[in-house]
Amino acid sequence: MSPTFSRRSALRLVGGAIAVAAAATSAGPAPLAHAESGSGAGPRVEGLIGRLTLDEKISLLHGATDPDSLGQAGYVPGVPRLGIPALRLADGPAGVRVTRHATALPAPVLLASAFDPALARRYGQVIGREGRALGQDVLLSPMVNLIRTPYAGRNFETFSEDPLLAGDLVAAEIRGIQGEGLIATVKHFALNNQEKDRQSVDVVVDEQTLHEVELRGFEAAVEAGTGAVMGAYNKVGGTYACENPMLLTDILRERWGFGGWVMTDWFAAHSTAAAIAAGLDMEMPDGTYFGAALKSAVRSGSVPEAYVDRAVRRVLAVMDRFGLLDGSVPARPARDAKAGAAVALEVAKAGATLLRNEHRALPLTGAAARSIAVVGPTGSLPFVSGGGSAHVVPDRADSPLDAIGSRAGRGAHVSYSLGEDLFGKPVPASALSPALSTEGQGIAAGQTWTYEGTLTVADADEWTLVIHYSGERPKVLLDGEDLFPVAPGYGEYFSGGLVSAAPDGLSVRRRTLDLAKGAHKVEITAKGGTGGQLFRLRRITGATRAQDVAEAVAAARAAHSVVLFAFEDATEGLDRTTIALPGHQERLIEAVSAANPRTTVVLNTSSSTSMPWLRRTAAVLQMYYPGQEGASATAAVLFGDCDPGGRLTQSFAVDDAHHPVAGDPRRYPGLDGTEEYSEGIHAGYRWYDAGGVRPLFPFGHGLSYTSFVYDGLRVRRDHHGLRASFTVRNTGRRAGIEVAQVYVGPSPDLGLDQAVRVLGGYERLALRAGERRRVTVRVASRTLSSWDARKHAWVLGTGRRTLWVGASSGDLRLSTAAEVRA
């Protein structure tokens, strides 16, 4: 018996009720024969369902402990007696996350900055092949949640604030992953656009916004044949995403015709009967609700066994598509680390986004390339990736300092200064009595070490106390206050990818306090645990900070040019509270660029950053988290071995008060557990355009080392869409990359809210000096359509519409009008 899905969801809304017409669509194109989409399970799957016991069926619907774990996130045991193999599920978006080495690719936001779906496909191919080589069957990636708030901790893991671009890239990446035989899992369905309160926040969104903004990427993933979908932690319209019939059944199954399976995010299940009825198929990583509880529910009749069969059918159907049930799956390949590294390098160069370049400060040539002061902690530490589940153990990673030094070559002088201390310096014997060893305190397994002493502060000052430790977190009391309490629950697992570990691998925690002059009581207890531990106490004070800045300033003065590395260390599980650079980096940039105006700031940040210091600098290069080859890519761009190929996939705000979610806690981060997407369809650059607010840098912005002119715009109708043709000419003296962008204005015929303009299409171009190219960009009818909540359908925006062509959403060079007809 096949259950019916005629239920209407009880979604709360900002304006009108959501109900989605139950029109199933085709499952979309098939990337490869074995990886095609489609909801129909074949006779093999039906035969297996007939032979599986209830216990066996249930074992396929939830995670369990892997007896042979490779450190991956999830495991589902198979049913060997029927030839059903186990599934191993690994993160993640920037490479395969197991405990072994893998290619640490640049963060997805850097990939997206290349505006190049073909590159996204190759990025997916690297992960697909490595996942299979590393014993995995399912990849927990890509993430396609839209960049809605600049504070969101996972903005580096996803693509863009623009739904068209995000959709193109997610589809290409999924085709790349699945073409290698690894099952992709698009995540997190849906509206997991922030980390703050992600486990509980209730998102209230109107139907038009839901479809036009957040869902387009997921729909593109389904069209590309994604095998699995991961439900989000948050609620949508009062119901958890993982038990939300509107999302999981009405939209995903009935409207989009998704034939794969839906798993929860980790520990995101909240019920048994409601969840399976709503369309959830698999609980991860354990069986709290879909294990024994599901069995009792079936036995007691509160869950029809047909629901269990339906979920099993969806899992097995995907396994069958990938050849996992009949042994037709290709043998696992060997890793190709060299090919992975080559793609990692190419992506980092292609996505490198040059935001500012005054007086051709970059590329570094002549004296500027021979006398360089490298400044900043991330100049000497490779900033490979963000934290959380997207963290990958890289094969290798150079520091930018080494890469710059070797590129500058013999005869060049490259100095290094820290500028901003992340890990602290030993507390001097004069301040701590009794003194602590500067090498650290070793504590043998099973032993407990205690310390009681006095910290004497000569003058009232801001102190950052830093602990480095290898095992269980030591307890450090200052005047009786526990400085580093262990937060309960899952949150503790997340800390930044870089700053939470010292260069030698010890865990690091910091606490900044204003300390009064005089004596302070210090008590420390550290346990050796089973493996013993090492403990170090470090400190950063106003005086050490001033010293670090003074050294950087002196080095900047002594050099011809400066490359200053600034960072922001993001992770899932946490949002940042400001878009300003953390710590004292702003002051460092001000001081260094005042000392040497030929200062280039390289940003290794997760997302947008405010730059009150911008005008003092010569150049700003956004590299995000550039992966294991990031140092070479950065050096290649700085020295002009390649053109900076990236463009912003999100608007950069001037400050914390001027961006789409500023100033209204109901909009972000939510009030009383509820968050309203009251900006409606005006996400990202649409919000800036609608309100006439100037961003610091607009969506699509990025400079080349050469210059381009646009002319000859013509627009023709193309079925229900449009075709814009224009010429782009490289007017400079070097080869370069341009990302030509087409934007489209509103339809006069729709009585619906529409954006001032939306991205209609784009083309990444590599042009030699003097080369001109005629470019044609298709604007699809979907992009010309709006979601009509009264009809619960897309409606084509007919009539005369303006088209612009330019180099960013704020740099529109050509425009014309064209008639759109149904």
Tell me the two tokens of residue 382.
């490779």
Backbone dihedral region of 740: left (phi > 0), alpha (psi from -120 to 50 degrees) or beta? beta
**Residues whose CB is less than 8 angstroms from the CB of residue 161 and which lie 6 or more positions away in sequence, other chains included:** 146, 147, 148, 649, 650, 651, 683, 684, 685, 699
Q: Which is nearer to ligand BGC, 265 or 346 (CB)?
A: 265
DSSP secondary structure letters along 123-145: HHHHHHHHHHHTT-SEE---B--
In the complex, minimum distance from the CB of residue 158 to ligand BGC, in angstroms, rounded to a whole number: 10
Measured in degrees and rounded to the nearest 5, phi and psi for residue 313 equal: -60, -40
Cα–Cα distance for residue pair 805/801, rounded to 1 Å: 13
Cα–Cα distance for residue pair 668/676, rounded to 1 Å: 8
The gap between the terminal CA atoms of the chain, to the nearest Å, is: 41
Q: Which residue from 187, 321, 757, 764 is in contact with ligand BGC, where contact means CB under 6 A?
A: 187
Tell me the two tokens of residue 129.
């092949």
* 421 neighbors 540 (Cβ within 8 angstroms): yes
Cα–Cα distance for residue pair 68/351, rounded to 1 Å: 37
In the complex, minimum distance from the CB of residue 143 to ligand BGC, in angstroms, rounded to a whole number: 7
Q: Which is nearer to ligand BGC, 226 or 371 (CB)?
A: 226
Strand 448-457 relative to strand 432-433, pairing? antiparallel
Binding mask 66-105 for ligand BGC (x = CB under 6 A): -------x-----------------x--------------
Q: Which is nearer to ligand BGC, 70 or 750 (CB)?
A: 70
* 789 neighbors 206 (Cβ within 8 angstroms): yes
Is 265 a known active-site residue? yes
**Which residue do the tokens 């210090």 mark?**
522
Cα–Cα distance for residue pair 720/254, rounded to 1 Å: 25
Packed helices 400-408 and 630-638: angle between N→C axes, nearest 10 degrees: 40
In the complex, minimum distance from the CB of residue 219 to ligand BGC, in angstroms, rounded to a whole number: 20
- Residue 579: C-alpha distances to residues 377, 556, 557, 793 (Å): 19, 26, 29, 37
Q: Which is nearer to ligand BGC, 153 or 761 (CB)?
A: 153
Q: Number of residues interacting with ligand BGC: please give it, by CB under 6 A.
A: 8
Helix extents (H) in 479-601: 542-558, 585-595
Number of continuous H segments (helices) and E segments (strands) in the chain: 19, 35
In the complex, minimum distance from the CB of residue 260 to ligand BGC, in angstroms, rounded to a whole number: 16
Cα–Cα distance for residue pair 708/773, rounded to 1 Å: 11
Q: Which is nearer to ligand BGC, 93 or 400 (CB)?
A: 93
Q: Which is nearer to ligand BGC, 130 or 572 (CB)?
A: 572
In the complex, minimum distance from the CB of residue 233 to ligand BGC, in angstroms, rounded to a whole number: 7
Using CB under 6 A as the binding rule, whether residue 265 contacts ligand BGC is answered as yes
**Residues whose CB is less than 8 angstroms from the CB of residue 589 and which lie 6 or more positions away in sequence, other chains included:** 564, 566, 581, 599, 601, 613, 616, 617
**Residues whose CB is less than 8 angstroms from the CB of residue 749 and which lie 6 or more positions away in sequence, other chains included:** 797, 798, 799
Catalytic one of 66, 265, 281, 689:
265
Coil vs helix vs strand at 779: strand
Q: Which is nearer to ligand BGC, 289 or 463 (CB)?
A: 289
Using CB under 6 A as the binding rule, whether residue 262 contacts ligand BGC is answered as no
Closest CA to 93 of 135, 126, 134: 126
Using CB under 6 A as the binding rule, whether residue 266 contacts ligand BGC is answered as yes
Cα–Cα distance for residue pair 384/56, rounded to 1 Å: 42
Residues within window 567-596 making contact with ligand BGC, judged by CB under 6 A = 572
Residues within window 123-152 making contact with ligand BGC, judged by CB under 6 A = 140
* 353 neighbors 621 (Cβ within 8 angstroms): yes
Q: Which is nearer to ligand BGC, 216 or 391 (CB)?
A: 391
Q: Which is nearer to ligand BGC, 54 or 86 (CB)?
A: 86
In the complex, minimum distance from the CB of residue 490 to ligand BGC, in angstroms, rounded to a whole number: 7
SS3 content of the chain, % helix, strand, coil (to 5): 25, 25, 45
Using CB under 6 A as the binding rule, whether residue 763 contacts ligand BGC is answered as no
Residues within window 362-391 making contact with ligand BGC, judged by CB under 6 A = 389
In the complex, minimum distance from the CB of residue 266 to ligand BGC, in angstroms, rounded to a whole number: 4
Q: Which is nearer to ligand BGC, 79 or 144 (CB)?
A: 144
Using CB under 6 A as the binding rule, whether residue 762 contacts ligand BGC is answered as no
- Residue 446: C-alpha distances to residues 36, 69, 382, 463 (Å): 55, 27, 35, 32
Q: Which is nearer to ligand BGC, 63 or 379 (CB)?
A: 63
Q: Which is nearer to ligand BGC, 71 or 691 (CB)?
A: 71
* 315 neighbors 91 (Cβ within 8 angstroms): no
Question: Which H or E element spans position 347?
Answer: helix 337-351
Cα–Cα distance for residue pair 433/183, rounded to 1 Å: 59
Q: Which is nearer to ligand BGC, 61 or 284 (CB)?
A: 284
**Residues whose CB is less than 8 angstroms from the CB of residue 126 and which lie 6 or more positions away in sequence, other chains included:** 95, 103, 105, 176, 339, 340, 343, 344
Cα–Cα distance for residue pair 629/351, rounded to 1 Å: 13
Helix extents (H) in 664-759: 685-691
Question: Which residue ranges make up the site for ligand BGC (CB under 6 A)?
Answer: 73, 91, 140, 187, 265-266, 389, 572
Active site residues: 265
